[in-house]
């Protein structure tokens, strides 16, 4: 197994306050879950400074979570 490393998450210089889009996506995800279409959920909350406030994963399909984290590399 290769050595693991910590990847620092940094805010995009082009990004504005994305609060409306964050809320829209959360509401869409909640509706999807209420319809019984979800199997797993991962959440990574990052503030405007790029600091990770919280992260959570419910444990289903951890390899998908790793892929999602890989896609966040900047």
Tens of pLDDT along 6-56? 767 666 666 566 788 889 989 998 998 899 888 777 787 888 777 888 877
Q: Which tens digits make up the pLDDT trace of 54-69?
A: 877 786 777 777 777 7
pLDDT value at 70 more than 50: yes
Q: Does residue 49 lie within any of the structural domains?
A: yes
Q: Does residue 34 lie within any of the structural domains?
A: no
How far apart (Å, rounded) are the C-alpha atoms in residues 11 and 46?
A: 9
Domain span holding position 48: 39-74
Please count the structural domains in the chain.
1
| DSSP class per residue in 29-69 | HHHHHHTT--S--EEEEE-TTS-EEEEEE-SS-HHHHHHHH
pLDDT at 4: 63
How far apart (Å, rounded) are the C-alpha atoms in residues 61 and 59?
A: 6
Q: Does residue 9 lie within any of the structural domains?
A: no
Q: Does residue 53 lie within any of the structural domains?
A: yes
Q: Does residue 8 lie within any of the structural domains?
A: no
pLDDT at 1: 47
């Amino acid at each position: 197994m290769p050595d693991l490393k910590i990847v620092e998450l940094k805010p995009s210089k082009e990004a504005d306050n994305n609060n409306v889009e964050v809320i829209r996506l959360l509401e869409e995800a909640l509706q999807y879950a209420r319809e019984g279409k979800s199997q797993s959920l991962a959440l990574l909350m990052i503030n405007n400074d790029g600091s990770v406030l919280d992260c959570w994963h419910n444990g289903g399909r951890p390899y998908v979570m790793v892929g999602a984290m890989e896609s966040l590399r900047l």
